[in-house]
C-alpha cells in the first residue's frame, strides 16, 4: 500500500540534484568533493542530452563522416580505393558501446564519491523538500535543478510526419533523401554528416543565412563549402507544412517558388529546443520561470527562491555542455567550498559547430563588434585552401578571421572555418580571454605548414 504524504519517509542531505545530465553530475561530484552529502535523482541514463542524444553520439557520426570525406580525397590523390561503403549498424554498435562505457564510468564515480543515486524523478514541495516519484521525501539545504531540454517540434500542419534531432540517432542507415528544417547548429551538423554518409540532403532555413548568431562572412564561406559537398540550401524558405506523398514526405515552404522540391524519405526538424521544466513543482515552490518555460536564474545560478538553484539548458542560458558543467562546479564551490564570489563568466565562451568543415568561434562577430565599438573595429581575414584539399584539387576553402578593437588592436573575436578549427581554437580562446592583442600574435613564430599558422600571420 502506498504511504500517505504525512508518513512518507524523509532523508536529509546537504544537496539534492534533480537531473543526471552533464550539469547535474558536475554539481554532484563537485559538492561531494567538498564534503557535502549529495543525492542525485535521474530516472534515465546518466549524461543527459550530451552523452545520449547530443555531443557524444553526434561526434561519433561526424568522425565517420570525416573519414568518408578523407577516403574520397585519398582516391583523388592516387590511392587505389573503391568508393567507401559503411556498415551503419556496425558504426552504431561502436557508438553505443562507447556511450555504455561512459554510463559505467559515471556509476562507478558516483559510488566512489558517496553520492546517493536514485533512479527516479523529483519535484519540489518547498524550497528544501524534494519528493521523489517513489514517494520518498528528501530534505536538503540546497536543491539543484539540472533537467536540461528537449527538441522543439513546430506547430505546423503535418509536423507529426517529421522527426526531431533525437530521431537521427535511431536511424539504421542513411535515408536516400533527407530534408532538414532549421538553420542552426543542429541542422548544419546533421546535414553534413548525412550528406557525407550517403544521403542527399536539403536544408530549409527561415532566414537569409544559416547560423544567424555567428559571423556572416565566415558563415557565407561555410555555405559555399556545404554546397560543394552536395547539400542543397533553401534560404529564406520558412516551412509551413509537411504532406505525405505515399511513403514519402513533401516539405511545403514559402521560398523559391520556381524551385520545386522533391519528396523526402525522412524529414528532421532542427528548430530549437525547450526546457524540461514541467512537473518539477516550480510554481508550488515559488520558483519563477520565463515565457518559454525556462527557470530564471541570476548571475550566481540562484532562482527566485533561496536554496533552489538551476544550471544548464533548463535555464535558457547558453546551451552548451561545458557551460552547464562549469556553472555547476562554480556554484558548488560557492555553496560548499567557501568561495563566496564563485560564478561563471559567460563572456567570450568558445564554441564549435561540427560542420564540414568545422566552424569555431569565440568572442564578438564583426557585426556585434561594430555595434558595440563602431569605427574602432579593425578586421583581418585569411582565406585559403588547406594543404590536403589543395593537393587533391578540392575546392573546399577555409576562412580565418580576427576582429580587433582600439589602437592596441585587442582581439575581441576569433572565427575559424576549416579543418581542425575545433582543435586550433581552444588555445587561442584562452589567449583572447586574457586580453590578446594582434601584436602579440605577430610576435609569435608560425608553425609551418599548418592551417593554425594563419592565425598569427594575418596582416
Give CA–CA dist 430/252, Å, rounded.
45
CB 138 within 8 A of CB 130: yes
Number of domains in the chain: 3
The 10 Å Cβ neighbour count of residue 298 is 10
Residue 84: the pLDDT is: 79
Q: Residue 95: which domain range?
A: 8-53+91-151+274-336
Domain CATH code at residue 426: 3.30.390.30
Q: Is 43 inside any structural domain?
A: yes
| Residue 374 φ then ψ, to 5° | 60, -130
Residue 289 has what DSSP assignment?
B
In terms of DSSP bridges, do strands 38-41 and 177-181 run parallel, antiparallel, or are they unpaired?
A: unpaired
Active site residues: 448
Q: Is 449 inside any structural domain?
A: yes
- Does 14 share its domain with 147? yes
Give CA–CA dist 126/147, Å, rounded.
18
Q: Is 352 inside any structural domain?
A: no
- Does 379 share its domain with 428? yes
- Does 38 share its domain with 136? yes
CB 41 within 8 A of CB 48: no
- Does 14 share its domain with 142? yes
- Does 380 share its domain with 365? yes
Residue 257: the pLDDT is: 59
Q: What's the chain's length in residues?
A: 459
- Does 26 share its domain with 138? yes
The 10 Å Cβ neighbour count of residue 342 is 15
Residue 7: the pLDDT is: 62
- Does 366 share its domain with 316? no
Each residue's pLDDT tens digit in the chain (459 positions)? 444 445 677 889 999 999 999 999 999 999 999 999 999 999 999 999 999 999 999 999 999 999 999 999 999 999 998 887 899 999 999 999 999 999 999 999 999 999 999 999 999 999 999 999 999 999 999 999 999 999 999 999 999 999 999 999 999 999 999 999 999 999 999 999 999 999 999 999 999 999 999 999 999 999 999 999 999 999 999 999 999 999 999 999 987 654 567 899 999 999 999 999 999 999 999 999 999 999 999 999 999 999 999 999 999 999 999 999 999 999 999 999 999 999 999 999 999 999 999 999 999 999 999 999 999 999 999 999 999 999 999 999 999 999 999 999 999 999 999 999 999 999 999 999 999 999 999 999 999 999 999 999 998
- Does 118 share its domain with 39? yes
CB 15 within 8 A of CB 138: no
Residue 16: the pLDDT is: 98
Domain CATH code at residue 33: 3.50.50.60
For residue 252, what are the contacts with CB-CB under 8 A and spacing of at least 6? 239, 240, 241, 242, 243
- Does 121 share its domain with 217? no
Amino acid at each position: 500500500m502506498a504511504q500517505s504524504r504525512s508518513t512518507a519517509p524523509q532523508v536529509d542531505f546537504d544537496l539534492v540534484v534533480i537531473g543526471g545530465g552533464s550539469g547535474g553530475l558536475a554539481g554532484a561530484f563537485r559538492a561531494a568533493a567538498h564534503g557535502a552529502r549529495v543525492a542525485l535523482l535521474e530516472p534515465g541514463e546518466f549524461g543527459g542530452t550530451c552523452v545520449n542524444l547530443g555531443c557524444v553520439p553526434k561526434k561519433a557520426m561526424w568522425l565517420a563522416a570525416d573519414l568518408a570525406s578523407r577516403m574520397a580525397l585519398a582516391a583523388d590523390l592516387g590511392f587505389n580505393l573503391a568508393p567507401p561503403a559503411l556498415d551503419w549498424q556496425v558504426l552504431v554498435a561502436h557508438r553505443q558501446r562507447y556511450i555504455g562505457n561512459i554510463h559505467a564510468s559515471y556509476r562507478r564515480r558516483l559510488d566512489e564519491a558517496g553520492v546517493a543515486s536514485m533512479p527516479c524523478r523529483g519535484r519540489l514541495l518547498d524550497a528544501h523538500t524534494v519528493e521523489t516519484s517513489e514517494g520518498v521525501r528528501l530534505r536538503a539545504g540546497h536543491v539543484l535543478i539540472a533537467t536540461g531540454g528537449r527538441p522543439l517540434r513546430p506547430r505546423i500542419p503535418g509536423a507529426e510526419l517529421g522527426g526531431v534531432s533525437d530521431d537521427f540517432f535511431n536511424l539504421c542507415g542513411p535515408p536516400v533523401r533527407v530534408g532538414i528544417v532549421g538553420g542552426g547548429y543542429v541542422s548544419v551538423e546533421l546535414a553534413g554528416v548525412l550528406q557525407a554518409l550517403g544521403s542527399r540532403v536539403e536544408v530549409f532555413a527561415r532566414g537569409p543565412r544559416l547560423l544567424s548568431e555567428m559571423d556572416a562572412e565566415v558563415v557565407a564561406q561555410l555555405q559555399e563549402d556545404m554546397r560543394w559537398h552536395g547539400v542543397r540550401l533553401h534560404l529564406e524558405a520558412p516551412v509551413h507544412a509537411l504532406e505525405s506523398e505515399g511513403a514519402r514526405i513533401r516539405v511545403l515552404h514559402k521560398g523559391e517558388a520556381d524551385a520545386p522540391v522533391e519528396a523526402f524519405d525522412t524529414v528532421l526538424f532542427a528548430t530549437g529546443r525547450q526546457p524540461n521544466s514541467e512537473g518539477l513543482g516550480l510554481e508550488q515552490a515559488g520558483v519563477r520561470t520565463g515565457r518559454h518555460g525556462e527557470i530564471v536564474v541570476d548571475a550566481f545560478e540562484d532562482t527566485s527562491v533561496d536554496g533552489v538553484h538551476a544550471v544548464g539548458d533548463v535555464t535558457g542560458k547558453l546551451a552548451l555542455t561545458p557551460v552547464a558543467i562549469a556553472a555547476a562546479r562554480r556554484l558548488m564551490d560557492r555553496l560548499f567550498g567557501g568561495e563566496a564570489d564563485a560564478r561563471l563568466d559567460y563572456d567570450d565562451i568558445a564554441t564549435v559547430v561540427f560542420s564540414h568543415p568545422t566552424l569555431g568561434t569565440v568572442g564578438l562577430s564583426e557585426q556585434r563588434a561594430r555595434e558595440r565599438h563602431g569605427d574602432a573595429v579593425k578586421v583581418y581575414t585569411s582565406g585559403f585552401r588547406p594543404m590536403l584539399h589543395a593537393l587533391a584539387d578540392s575546392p573546399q576553402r577555409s576562412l580565418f578571421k580576427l576582429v580587433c578593437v582600439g589602437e592596441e588592436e585587442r582581439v575581441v573575436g576569433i572565427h575559424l572555418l576549416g579543418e581542425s578549427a575545433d582543435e586550433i581554437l581552444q588555445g587561442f580562446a584562452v589567449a583572447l580571454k586574457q586580453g590578446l592583442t594582434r601584436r602579440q600574435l605577430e610576435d609569435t613564430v608560425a608553425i609551418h605548414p599548418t592551417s593554425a599558422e594563419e592565425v598569427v600571420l594575418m596582416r
